């Protein structure tokens, strides 16, 4: 009988994550709390600050050599901004970086986002631990 072995990858370095706020939305309590929370979980977190264009976010993700890119939006412009960030990422980065989203995002938009490369969407009330677990299970690079 073939045994399925779930290998726990021993990572060479802590997971690096870039948290970004695309667009004009200024609500960043959630993203700041997440930054501090993921730091507590042992990850290296970089937060871009507000009002980043998709181009700036992509440049930062590549420059910082991150494993995970977290996008936050509470203004309703997520479909446009998130998919634009993914489109702008070079193909190999798109495959290597785990892209996740959060904020005020209606359930009915999630299929669109997942078709556009956003692997998971975390809404209000999500536990940071759950996000961290998801990241650990799905981040590929390191």
Partner 1 sequence: MEKEELDQIKHATREWEAGPLRKVLERSGERKIFSEIPKKRMYTPEALDDFDYLRDLGFPGDYPYTRGIHPTMYRGRLWGMAEYSGFGMPEDTNKRWKFLLGQGQTGVSLACDLPTQLGYDPDHPLAESEIGVVGVSCPSLREAETLFEGIDMDKITIRGSINHPHMILWAMYIAIAERQGIPPEKLGGTVHWDCLNEYVGRGAYIFPPEGAMRLALDFLEYGLVHIPRVSYMVNAYTIRESGATLIQEGAYAMSAAIAFMEAARQRGIDVDDFAPRLSFNHAIHMNFFEEIAKFRALRRLWAKITKDRFGAKKSSSMLFRLGLGTGGSTFTSQEPENNIARATVESLAAILGGATYLHTASYDEAYAIPTETTVRIALKTQLILAHESGVAEVVDPLGGSYYVESLTDQIEKEVMDYINEIDRRGGIVETIRSGWFQGEIAQSAHRKQKEIEEGKRVVVGVNKFVTDEKPSFEIHRAESRVAEEMKGRVKRLRKDRDSQRFENALSGLRKAAEGKDNLVPFAVEAVKAYATIGEICHVLRDVLGEYKSLSF
Binding positions for partner 1, 64-93, rule CB under 8 A: 75-77, 79-81
Report how far residue 7's alpha carbon sits from residue 34's, in angstroms, rounded to the nearest whole number. 27
Mapped onto helix, strand or coil, the DSSP state of residue 45 is strand
- Considering the rule CB under 8 A, would residue 32 count as an interface residue with partner 1? yes
Site string for partner 1, 102-121 (x = CB under 8 A): --x-xx--------------
Cβ neighbours of residue 13 closer than 8 Å, sequence gap 6 or more? 142
Q: How many C-beta neighbours within 10 Å does residue 48 have?
A: 19
Q: Does 44 bind partner 1 (CB under 8 A)?
A: no
> Contacts with partner 1: how many residues (CB under 8 A)?
32
Q: What's the start-to-end Cα distance of the chain, in Å?
A: 31
> Under the rule (CB under 8 A), what is the footprint of partner 1?
23-29, 32-33, 36-37, 47-51, 53, 75-77, 79-81, 104, 106-107, 123-125, 127-129
């Amino acid at each position: 009988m073939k045994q399925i072995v779930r290998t726990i990858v021993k990572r060479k370095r802590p997971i690096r994550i870039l948290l970004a706020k695309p667009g004009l939305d200024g609500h960043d309590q959630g993203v700041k709390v997440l930054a501090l929370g993921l730091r507590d979980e042992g990850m290296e977190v970089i937060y871009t600050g507000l009002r980043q264009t998709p181009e700036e976010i992509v440049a930062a993700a590549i420059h910082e050599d991150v494993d995970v890119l977290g996008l936050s939006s509470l203004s309703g412009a997520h479909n446009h901004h998130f998919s634009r960030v993914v489109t702008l990422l070079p193909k190999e980065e798109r495959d290597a970086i785990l892209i996740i989203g959060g904020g005020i995002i209606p359930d009915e938009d999630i299929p669109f986002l997942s078709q556009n490369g956003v692997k998971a969407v975390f809404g209000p009330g999500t536990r940071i631990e759950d996000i961290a677990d998801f990241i650990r299970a799905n981040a590929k690079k390191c």
